[in-house]
Amino acid sequence: MVELAEIFQEYGAEYLFKFQDKMLPSHLKAMKAICECRTPQLGGQVYACTKCKTQDYSYHSCNNRNCPKCGGDKIQQWTKKQLDLLLPVPYFFVTFTLPEELRLIVRSNQKYFYTLFFKVSAQALKILAREKRFIGGDVGFLGIIQSWARNLIYHPHIHYIVPGAALSFDRNKYIKIKNKKFLVHVKPLSLLFKRLFKEELQKTEFFNQIPSCVWKKEWVLHAEAAGYGQEIIKYVAPYVYRVAISNHRIKNIEDRKVTFEYEDSETKKIQICTLDVLEFMRRFLQHVLPQGFTKVRYFGIMGAKEKDRWFLLKNLLFQALAKKNKTLFLNIEYLQPKKKPNHSCRSCGGELILIGIFQGGP
């Protein structure tokens, strides 16, 4: 198995020589972090075996969100937090995508367009949910932005996890959807999303750079029932901290070509892709989010300034469940922290004890 870090360590200097003047600071930072992760550059701890006296070094992680070696521990914590917020109602998985004609300008202006993408898609969802023909109240939901398809091409989209319940406008009661398999009609949601996106762009210099055909075509959205939320939370959790490609998918690098595998989203079959090493690096780096950009956001009554309404809705729902003498069971087994393997000597299996800490550097 070839690691992403090995590719960046070997070919990073060449990539920087050719493209550094065009790279974003976040891309440069990600490259540096990935190359240094779990190496002496970041420092670490020194252990000694109590039996054979062998010394073992444990290097620090970079904790960069684009590093495939980091983030595993955070998935469990994030999942626990989201499961605690779940409501005892049916949930829905709603995905917004952008037309292919927009991808070039979006990729070149990520911070602005990702923020706009979040803003108008969430606004469209809130507006339609407030209509009586759908839910008829104020909803809360979380969204996760993702920019890649499985073969590393640029494909920005946002996943929303939406509970099928809302708080009444007077805050006195909760409103549940009538059909646990249906949230809103996708077509009016798509039309509203496109209209709001266009109206916002018309206020900017970007609007004249958009091909007119974009506003005439259908914008693709998808919405589906997602049970009672637990499974979909577990499904999206890895994407919160996962990068565009994990190390185990990279099969080899030979003659300056990187070969990796991915699952075809339609056939579900494993496909093989081989790219020139610099093109592979380019594809990976285009998915590095702008510095400080928030990948997961909460909207409606789940928003930071509206949490009191969220917990009011949750209390109303659980009070109703209590009256009906019903219990909501969570997957407790999934929430149990995984036991860390014993830190033992790789030579003889003896116990390792910490004998020193060293700083990173050249």
- DSSP track, 100-144: GGGHHHHHHTHHHHHHHHHHHHHHHHHHHHHSTTTT-SB-EEEEE
pLDDT of residue 338: 47
Is the entire prediction scored with pTM above 0.85?
A: yes
pLDDT digits 0-9 by tens, 112-150:
999 999 999 999 999 999 999 999 999 999 999 999 998
* 3-class SS of residue 108: helix
pLDDT band at 59; cut points 50, 70, 90: confident
pLDDT of residue 179: 84
pLDDT band at 339; cut points 50, 70, 90: very low
Of 198 and 346, the one with more pLDDT: 198
Mean per-residue pLDDT over the chain, rounded: 90
Pairwise CA distance, residues 297 & 123, whole Å = 13
Residue 117, amino acid: F
pLDDT digits 0-9 by tens, 272-307:
999 999 999 999 999 999 989 999 999 999 998 898
Pairwise CA distance, residues 343 & 122, whole Å = 46
pLDDT digits 0-9 by tens, 24-45:
899 999 999 999 999 998 998 8
Of 104 and 178, the one with more pLDDT: 104
Give the rounded percent of residues in the chain with a pLDDT score beyond 90. Answer: 64
Longest dimension (CA), the chain: 73
* 3-class SS of residue 297: strand
